[in-house]
């Protein structure tokens, strides 16, 4: 601590934008002034990229805070939060930077605002190195709403690498407090469904090929279940530029949702895209966890803020999750423990993430 400014080393562990997202969101919620050094020190292009900067600026604006060092390429920022306010907030990466990552940083904050919020998020909706918007809507949304809040997510336009241009509108009302979650019973897989998409000038055949290859791959592992992956072409007025990809979701008897997804790119065979997504899904089903590897780290901040004990059964803990836990513990009074799950089946590699949440209360309500 420097005076009463919390010092964050942005180069440890995962060493990327996630440290910035978790620490600035918690800074905003807790009213803790922050200094983050060595931002994205672990990346090939260190420092703030456009999507990180637009996320920071949105957090600054939604709490009337002060941001210093907010420039592209900057490796150190100081942030002094004010009071969180509802209303309309706009963040535009002006690139294919992920709208889903913008949503990750803003959502915990606006839950504790004084009034309802509307977030206009612009950038890439289906981008590399980030959840696809379809994942956010099909998997993240229904699971995170178990913390006892709801949000609406309207995909106005889809945007892809390199030009972005997508837009998503998220509406949510504040809550008094978050309830803890218990996601420890995986259950049996009851349904597998998904969508394979193309946009722009790409032919629908690519979507059909991705879907067929994914179905064949899943059939080898799971024989007795109908797999329904719809090939779709995004309407021209709802997508900017060319893009393709696939998301496949498995739903279980206990209401768990686990997924695998992949994006197409120039020179990448469409069968390979479908198989990649199917293999990720199968890997997520094999470890026996109740959440998939992409959801783990996204739940940590909500577990830390909730009132009471949350328990989540997951596969092997990802570096992103370890990083989120590290900074959630450093900034809040939440306590996390991770233990190997005692499995009847030795082929399973599952863990229990347990958190005694800090019990954040919305004093505005």
User: 163 among the known binding-site residues?
Assistant: no
CA-nearest of 55, 62, 54 to 83 is 62
114: helix, strand or coil: coil
CB 202 within 8 A of CB 236: no
CA–CA separation, 349 and 351 (whole Å): 7
52-57 contacts at long range (C-beta below 8 A, 24 or more positions apart):
52/17, 52/20, 52/97, 54/91, 54/92, 54/93, 54/94, 54/97, 54/102, 54/123, 55/17, 55/20, 55/21, 55/24, 55/91, 55/101, 55/102, 55/105, 55/106, 56/20, 56/24, 57/91
To the query of whether residue 320 is one of the catalytic residues in this protein, the response is: yes
CA-nearest of 123, 124, 181, 174 to 149 is 174
CA-nearest of 272, 268, 297, 331 to 8 is 331
180: helix, strand or coil: coil
Residues annotated in the binding site for ATP, as ranges? 104
The catalytic site residues sit at 320
Residues annotated in the binding site, as ranges? 104
């Amino acid at each position: 601590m420097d005076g009463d400014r919390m010092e964050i080393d942005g180069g440890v562990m995962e060493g990327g934008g996630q440290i910035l997202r978790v620490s600035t969101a918690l800074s905003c919620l807790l009213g803790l002034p922050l200094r983050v050094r060595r931002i994205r020190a672990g990346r090939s292009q260190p420092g703030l990229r456009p999507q990180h900067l637009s996320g920071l600026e949105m957090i600054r604006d939604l709490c009337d805070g002060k941001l210093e060092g907010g420039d592209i390429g900057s490796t150190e920022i100081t942030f002094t939060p004010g009071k969180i306010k509802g209303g309309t907030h706009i963040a535009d990466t002006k690139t294919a930077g992920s709208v889903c990552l913008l949503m990750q940083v803003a959502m915990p904050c606006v839950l504790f605002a004084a009034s309802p919020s509307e977030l206009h998020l612009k950038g890439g909706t289906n981008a590399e190195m980030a959840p696809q918007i379809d994942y956010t809507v099909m998997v993240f949304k229904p699971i995170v709403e178990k913390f006892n809040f709801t949000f609406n997510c309207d995909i106005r336009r889809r945007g892809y690498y390199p030009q972005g241009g997508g837009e998503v509108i998220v509406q949510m009302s504040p809550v008094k407090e978050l309830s803890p979650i218990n996601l420890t019973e995986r259950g049996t897989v009851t349904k597998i469904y998904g969508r394979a998409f193309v946009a722009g000038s790409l032919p629908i055949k690519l979507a059909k090929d991705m879907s067929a290859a994914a179905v064949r791959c899943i059939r080898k592992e799971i024989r007795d279940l109908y797999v329904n992956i719809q090939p779709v072409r995004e309407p021209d007025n709802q997508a900017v530029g060319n893009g393709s990809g696939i998301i496949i979701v498995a739903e279980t008897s206990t209401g768990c949702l686990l997924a695998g997804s992949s994006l197409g790119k120039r020179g990448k065979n469409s069968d390979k895209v479908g198989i990649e997504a199917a293999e990720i899904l199968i890997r997520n089903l094999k470890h026996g966890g109740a959440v998939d590897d992409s959801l783990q780290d996204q739940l940590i901040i909500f577990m830390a803020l909730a009132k009471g004990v949350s328990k989540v059964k997951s596969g092997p803990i990802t570096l992103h999750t370890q990083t989120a836990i590290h900074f959630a513990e450093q900034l809040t009074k939440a306590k996390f423990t991770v233990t190997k799950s005692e499995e009847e089946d030795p082929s399973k590699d599952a863990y229990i993430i347990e958190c005694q949440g800090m019990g954040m209360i919305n004093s505005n309500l």
